[in-house]
Structure 1
């Protein structure tokens, strides 16, 4: 269709020779009729002149130059809308000027040449005017089939002025170059928009925008973000990541529904005023999941729907956490324990309560998913959040180790479940300042549970006794037996998944070099910033444990020195409890599912 359109224009610009003898056609000497000269159709460039080759063009110009200098007739001059017309016209006018000085120019020839010159100037004027309004001619061609007619017309009408010109020219279609220009402009605007957090309905304070630029950092300071965001870190992290992965556009998420969904998540995380399991923890885990997906390039292994489910699972994974462990619910026979039959009590509630929100009319961010997409999304979210139950920890690692030893591909649900689980327990693998702050807040939450257990006459759970907990020792055990092994298995898993993708990028260039390094490395090597953090934090806790041991010895010595005085007032004295038996060292610091 496009080629046929160009052919039609060529026939107007370059009429057949027989037009010279056809009186019904308003053309003379290869020109358009004067009546239509002000609406000369278009500039003709070298690409659109299909009728003549470059060699014949050169010959024609040479002949015209010679003719312009000898004869004043206009019959053999080139058509007025061709590139050589203005060149020949300038030679002819200078020749006429010389002849006028000698009084050698007949009046009829002078009139014909001035008329030809005027027509050429009009053609050039129309051509240049159109070039200024239709800047698309400077852009590369877009294949006709690449853009549907409706979309092409809309783009031309919205982003260019070519539709007005099209209507003036009759049935001429928008130029594909205009469409290319509009598409490129849209991509550029989209990239700039995303860089500035890309939310058309959310006003983001400048301080928050500045901090969000560090979302790709491993030790992202979510506390600073929450302070700058006036307590809305989860909302801004959720907005940023859903925009960053272009999920808002791909799944047509209504902005007001998204805002309502995130605000209700924040309200649920704040319901029990937990020191640790609050909206800041939700934002931190979500950012950590993003870091693993993006920095390891795991996101390129996933579909858009799987990325969407992963981000949402991270956002909701501790929604309406009660600040107590699953074991506490079971021991107290809570409503949650009765409802979920003592199985993954909190995790089941996080999922159920979150999907209730997403099913509500004002917060339904899933309303544009198809039935099949919704089922896949829900199944993946359920699997991932249930896997954050710490009672599944060792079984989860064992299953993944078995998969690593097999040639088959790793199941995506299991892989993403391990990623979320590692992100959930990742604070010991962050910078010391962040880890230490998280530890203090977690222990305060544990101690509150211990206080309630004491009031209820229940045995105080490990790490929940304010008087006997050995903080440094518990964190060393947590790093050695839980966090470090988990991240080791996750690293091996990521390398197994991504090594084939890197090989494909090198051999077939199936993946852009922006995604994988096409070096000669035979194995994908994952960046592991958590390894150094774990080693540093463990050493700091060892130093703290040594200081705590010295302090306990000092107190024991003081107690022993007071024993005689105690015998004077009391007939019996209890022996002091050895420091190493004050409380057992446990390897769980998430407060989820611990027994």
Structure 2
């Protein structure tokens, strides 16, 4: 990408340093430079290991990677709802709609307007417009308020006999899934990310208490059932998201893969150049044949194992709460006597 779009290495380095500074500005436990790197790495994995990059132009790949890097730039460590309820300047600026996501995009493009950070300086006018539109679409789609509608729309599209998936919508779903993917990774990573995110939520809860606002979900550090919250997050948010994303990728990539050996997973040979060209133009179906292409889904095992671990933790927590309640009850009886 650097050579293709003539990005000066020093400009890229300056841009990334500036972005990292923005991620570290609010000293968030979760939404920081490590989260940005984690999501960017996960997006890169999805592009390469599933073969999705073969469906995309170089500019689309470039936009996807940059969107992953900047998707939470200058995150305040508080939710959109907090901004709206507390009436922050950012909420006023963006009229209470996708407050943080709009800021991430706007602030990032302001950085890129700086000559020292302008990694887009050698794009043509048309390339810049396409790049900017893709990044805006992808980052706005990380707003969780759009989650269920986003999944519903893609599921409905995939039920069609010959679905034609819009690239912007496909990439938006991929970035969204990568953004919430920590439960689909090893337990040690997932558990660490969970604890960091909850600490960020609890800090917001502390602010809400100070402002006299009602607690947002999972923000009361004294009344949050951690294990149960993660079981629900996996079952109702992450698993359905990864399932729809997998179906979408198989629909998109099937026509451009000529072999479908299970052992190959996503590492399969690409069919003739004509099919690749047709796919790059946005077509997701082949008039010649229908391939039952399947991608590898290593995240499925991790989701199952992590959910099992949380259920075991929930059982232990419930037992401990019951024991504490019994001790309190026994203490009250003793006091009365």
1:551 is aligned to 320
What TM-score do the two structures reach when normalised by structure 2?
0.90
2:236 is aligned to 481
1:287 is aligned to 41
Matched, 1:418 2:173: yes
Matched, 1:404 2:158: yes
2:204 is aligned to 449
Q: CA deviation at 1:467?
A: 1.0
Q: CA deviation at 1:397?
A: 0.1
1:258 is aligned to 12
Q: CA deviation at 1:506?
A: 7.1
Per-residue CA distance 1:292-351 (angstroms, 9 max, x = gap): 110000001000000000000000000000000000000000000000000000000000
Matched, 1:523 2:277: no
Q: CA deviation at 1:254?
A: 1.1
1:307 is aligned to 61
- For 1:488 and 1:361, locate their aligned partners in 2 and report how far apart those are by CA, in whole Å: 42
For 1:108-147, what aligned pairs fall within 5 Å after superposition? none
- For 2:245 and 2:170, locate their aligned partners in 1 and report how far apart those are by CA, in whole Å: 8
For 1:15-54, what aligned pairs fall within 5 Å after superposition? none
Give structure 2 stretches of 5+ with no counterpart.
260-268, 277-288
For 1:127-526, what aligned pairs fall within 5 Å after superposition? 247-406=1-160, 407-503=162-258, 508=272, 522-526=291-295
With CA pairs under 8 Å and 6+ residues apart, which has the higher RCO, 1 or 2? 2
- For 1:506 and 1:389, locate their aligned partners in 2 and report how far apart those are by CA, in whole Å: 34
Aligned alpha-carbon RMSD (Å):
1.7
Q: 1:363 to 1:444 in 2, by over 3 A?
A: same
Per-residue CA distance 1:405-431 (angstroms, 9 max, x = gap): 122310000000000000000000000
- For 1:343 and 1:566, locate their aligned partners in 2 and report how far apart those are by CA, in whole Å: 54
Q: 1:554 to 1:250 in 2, by over 3 A?
A: same
> How many residues align structurally?
315
- For 1:560 and 1:376, locate their aligned partners in 2 and report how far apart those are by CA, in whole Å: 65
For 1:61-76, what aligned pairs fall within 5 Å after superposition? none
SS of the equivalent of 2:257 reads: helix
What TM-score do the two structures reach when normalised by structure 1?
0.52
Q: 1:409 to 1:511 in 2, by over 3 A?
A: closer
Q: CA deviation at 1:458?
A: 0.7
Q: CA deviation at 1:257?
A: 1.1
Per-residue CA distance 1:460-492 (angstroms, 9 max, x = gap): 111111111100000000000000000000000
SS of the equivalent of 1:349 reads: helix
Q: 1:494 to 1:507 in 2, by over 3 A?
A: closer
Q: CA deviation at 1:510?
A: 5.5
Displaced runs of 4 or more, over 2 A: 503-512, 564-568
- For 1:396 and 1:507, locate their aligned partners in 2 and report how far apart those are by CA, in whole Å: 31
Q: Which has the larger radius of gyration?
A: 1
Per-residue CA distance 1:205-242 (angstroms, 9 max, x = gap): xxxxxxxxxxxxxxxxxxxxxxxxxxxxxxxxxxxxxx
Q: 1:362 to 1:457 in 2, by over 3 A?
A: same
Q: CA deviation at 1:521?
A: 10
- For 2:121 and 2:225, locate their aligned partners in 1 and report how far apart those are by CA, in whole Å: 49
